[in-house]
Structure formats: structure tokens, C-alpha cells
Amino acid sequence: VKWTVGALAEALAAGDRRALARGLSIAEDEMPGKPALMRQVFPATGHAWILGVTGAPGTGKSSLVSALTGVYRSRGHTVGILAVDPTSPFSGGAILGDRIRMREHSGDAGVFIRSMATRGSLGGLAWTTRDCVRILDAAGFDLVIVETVGAGQSEVDIARTAHTTIVVEAPGLGDDVQAIKAGILEIADILVVNKSDRPGAMQTVRALKAMLELGHPSPREGLVRHHGQAMRVEAPAPATTEAPLWIPPVIQTVAPEGSGIDDLVAAIDAHRDHVNGQGARAAQEGRLLREELIDRLSQSILRYVMTRVPATEIDARLEMVRNRRMDPQAAVRHILADSGIITEGFDEFSRDGG
């Protein structure tokens, strides 16, 4: 089928599976029709609850997602799943594994599963993932689950997309609890110790609880730190709202047996109530959109500059910096001026910017 962007957006909003698959491909591969598609679908977004599930490979994320999907389906909710694995370039083992883990939902019209292995060409995986989430949202899924492999930046990115972020740990993956090493405790709304049938599960639970106590010394401080650390872009802080405190619970599960899944669902419900209550939802949404706007803006500026200024010119500035004939900040100012994006003499440190 050859779709116009308008027809595609309409068809996917009406529940057409092939239109949805096509829309996701356009978003994932940054095809030419993408800006128009995103413009069309955006007004229909903002309804899905976005659940991020992150953690080291093999901790049981896909198994948990599958178990959670079973619960939400039994409640009558539809579920869209994005499995994002930047560590497995193409048709990698992880994605094959995901397919097997989630096979039980393959015949269900209320479930749509999409695996993504690309890094995202423009603006990185984070925004590509968010665009795909928006397409699933516009397609009417009540819940969109994003499974990402905890590898460096990606878990912070997921916290900037999800309403509820679950960090999955498993005992015996190494000497340290993975989350502590990666510093991803900061982004967890819920901590799961999966594979609790394995030895060492209680130790992992204790380690996480100890870390949480350190991370939340006093109610207000804890919350500020929790959100502050998840921000990559140094944007001016949004107006402070007196958001109530949420302390991440630690839930033990054995995903393939379904044990602990009810506790996990209860924790997700509680977190959702927390976010929806007392104006926290609007604050969260505002914060996420603000970060996105600032980040996309800086990426667009970078792309614009790169198309205007020859690489040789940037190399020449770099050479001057290397020779200590120009400081990096001055080099940036010159490059920006050469791109035409600022006028000569612009001073970002002066109050009026000029």
C-alpha cells in the first residue's frame, strides 16, 4: 500500500496494524515523511501511560514485560511494546529472545510489539524512541511499555520519556548491584529484583534498600536530587512545584512464574496515582517536554551549523585551540558567527545576549 502521510496518520489512529508498522518504520528510520507524520499524530498523543523498563541484559526485562502485558490485558487495557536494544545492531540474539519471551501475546490484537535495534540516525536513539512511543500513543494503546538495555545514557533517556520507570536487577550478575554501578538508582520509580528464585536475591534487595536510604536522606532533598540527576541538558529549572515525595519501592519477582507480578502492578498503579495526583502529572509533563524542546533545539542548531560551516573550517579552529592560540569558547563563537546563526560580537555572557 502506498500511503499519503495524512492517510497513514488516519489509518494508524483508526487501528490499522500495517499503517502502524509503516509509521513506526518512518519514525525509526528518519524517512522524509517523518516531520509531517509527527505533526499529524502529535495532537492525538498524551493519553497513553508510558512505562519504561530498563536494566542490564539478561535481568529478565522482556520476561517481566510479557508478564505485565498479561495482567494489563486481563484488565482490558491495550498494550504497545517497544523493545529497544542499541547493543544488538541487527536481528541480534536479544531481539530474537524478546520475540520468544513475548510470543504468548503474538495473536492478541490488543498487543503490538516492535523491536528496534538502530541507534537512531538524527538526534540519537532517545528522540527516535520517543517518536515511536508517540506513534503508539496516537494509535490508541492505553499503555506503552519501552524496554531498554541499561547501557550508559539509554536508561537516563528512558526516564525522560516514561511516566513510570522500572529498573530491573537480578542477583548474581556481578559483585555489585548493577544499578549502583551505573548510577541508575536516581532514575528508578520502582526497583525490581527479578530472578528472586536465585541465590543472593535478598542481598540484592538489602543493597538496594540501603542505597535508597542514602539517596533519600530527607524528603525534599531526595526528590530534587532524583529529578535533577536525570537531566542531561542544563536548562533553566522549571518553576518549582511542591511535588510530593515518592520513595521507590523494591519489588521481588520471578517473572516466568508470575510471582511478584501483582505486587509490581500494584506499585505501578500507586506510582501512577502519585504522578496523577496533586498536580504532579502536569509538572512531570512540563519538565519532560521542556527537556525535549531544549535538547532538540540544541541538536537542530548543531545540524544547522554543520551544514553551513565546512568541516575544514572547524578543523582549522580546532588546530588553533590545540596550539593555544584560541580558547574553545572563542572557537565556538567564531564557528557560530561563520554559520550566520549569531552576529559577530555576540557575547553569551552578557545579559541581553548581544
Ligand X SMILES: Nc1nc2c(ncn2[C@@H]2O[C@H](COP(=O)(O)OP(=O)(O)O)[C@@H](O)[C@H]2O)c(=O)[nH]1
Spatial CB neighbours of 174, under 8 Å, sequence gap ≥ 6: 181
- Report in angstroms how near the CB of residue 205 gets to ligand X at its nearest: 14
| Residue with Cβ nearer ligand X (101 or 287) | 101
Least distance in Å: CB of 193 to Mg ion?
A: 17
Question: Binds 198, which of Mg ion, ligand X, none (CB < 5 to 8 A, cut-off by type)?
Answer: ligand X
60 binds, among Mg ion, ligand X, none (CB under 5 to 8 A by kind): ligand X
**Residues 62, 102: contact at Cβ < 8 Å?**
yes
As measured in angstroms, the least distance from the Cβ of 158 to ligand X is: 14
Residue 317 corresponds to which amino acid? R
Q: Which of 54, 59, 78, 204 binds ligand X (CB under 6 A)?
A: 59
Going from the C-alpha of 162 to that of each of 95, 134, 195, 284, the distances in angstroms are 21, 11, 24, 10
State the burial class of residue 14 (Cβ atoms within 10 Å of its Cβ: 0-12, 13-18, 19+): exposed
Among ligand X, Mg ion, none, residue 63 binds (CB under 5-8 Å by kind): ligand X
Q: Does 59 bind Mg ion (CB under 5 A)?
A: no
Q: Among 33, 70, 256, 258, which residue interacts with ligand X (rule: CB under 6 A)? A: 256
| Lookup: cell for 92 | 541480534
Binding to ligand X (CB under 6 A): which residues in 157-216? 194-195, 197-198
Residue from the set 33, 58, 124, 215 that interacts with ligand X by CB under 6 A: 58
Beta-bridge partners for 146 = 52, 82
Q: CB under 6 A: which stretch of 12-20, 38-46, 54-62, 301-309 binds ligand X?
A: 54-62
Q: How far is the CB of 48 from ligand X (least distance, A)?
A: 21
Residues 97-136 that bind ligand X (CB under 6 A): 97, 101
User: Which of Mg ion, ligand X, none interacts with 58 (beta carbon under 5 to 8 A by kind)?
Assistant: ligand X
Per-position DSSP letters for 185-227, written without gaps between them? GGG-SEEEE--TTSTTHHHHHHHHHHHHHHH-SSHHHHHHHHH
Q: Considering beta carbons, is residue 61 or 226 the nearer one to Mg ion?
A: 61
Contacts 24+ apart (CB under 8 A), 325-333: none
Binding segment for Mg ion (CB under 5 A), chosen from 58-66, 107-115, 157-165, 208-216, is 58-66
Buried b (16+ CB within 10 A) or exposed e, 23-33: bbebbbebeeb
Q: Which position among 8, 20, 22, 61 is part of the footprint of ligand X (CB under 6 A)? A: 61
Which member of 28, 98, 186, 291 binds Mg ion (CB under 5 A)? Answer: 98
What is 66-82 written as a DSSP string? Answer: HHHHHHHHHTT--EEEE
Query: How far, in Å, CA of 96 to CA of 75, rounded?
Result: 28
Helix, coil or strand: residue 258: coil
* DSSP run (H or E) holding 297: helix 280-308
In the complex, what is the shortest distance from the CB of residue 131 to ligand X, in angstroms, rounded to a whole number? 23
Give whichever of 62 and 165 is closer to Mg ion, judged by the CB atom: 62
Q: How many CB atoms lie within 10 A of CB 99?
A: 14
Residues within the interface to ligand X (CB under 6 A): 55, 57-63, 94, 97, 101, 194-195, 197-198, 254-256
**Which residues bind to Mg ion, rule: CB under 5 A?**
61-62, 98
